[in-house]
Homo-oligomer: A and B are copies of this chain.
Amino acid sequence: MKDYLENINKAFESKARLGIMSVLMVEDRVDFSTLKDTLQLTDGNLASHLRALEEAEYLRVEKQFVGRKPNTTYHATDAGRKAFNNHLDALEQLILNNRKDN
């Protein structure tokens, strides 16, 4: 396999997951509706991508109460930040290789 493809991480392939991780890299804690509005995803679609990233241990879910209302927030784990940065590095290599050859 081409070197620059090796480090592309399947966990971050989709636009939705690129978006989720991009938001979580900047904001320490983000709630579901903020993510939904920012990324314009349906509830089901967003929930399924969040679950996949949680299963990969790239993000953590925190449930707490704000007053009497339950509030669920998402934040990137250290492993998630590291893996996403590696993925961005791999995409950068892919771009450089394509630009170089054309």
Q: On chain A, which size bracket covers the interface?
A: 20 to 34
A40 touches B1 (CB 8 A): yes
Q: How many angstroms between the C-alpha atoms of A1 and B37 in the bound complex? A: 7
Q: A10-B15, A25-B101, A25-B102 are in contact. Are A5 and B39 (CB under 8 A)?
A: yes
A26 touches B91 (CB 8 A): no
Copy number in the complex reads 2
A92 — which chain B residues lie within 8 A by C-beta?
92, 95
B-contact 0/1 string along A21-41, CB 8 Å cutoff: 011011000000000001110
Q: How many angstroms between the C-alpha atoms of A8 and B15 in the bound complex? A: 7
A94 — which chain B residues lie within 8 A by C-beta?
18, 22, 88, 91
Chain A residues proximal to chain B, CB less than 8 Å: 1-2, 4-5, 8, 10, 13-15, 18-19, 22-23, 25-26, 38-40, 84, 88, 91-92, 94-95, 97-99, 101-102
Q: Nearest 9 A-B pairs (CB), nearest first?
A: A8-B15, A26-B101, A1-B40, A5-B19, A88-B95, A91-B91, A13-B13, A13-B14, A92-B95
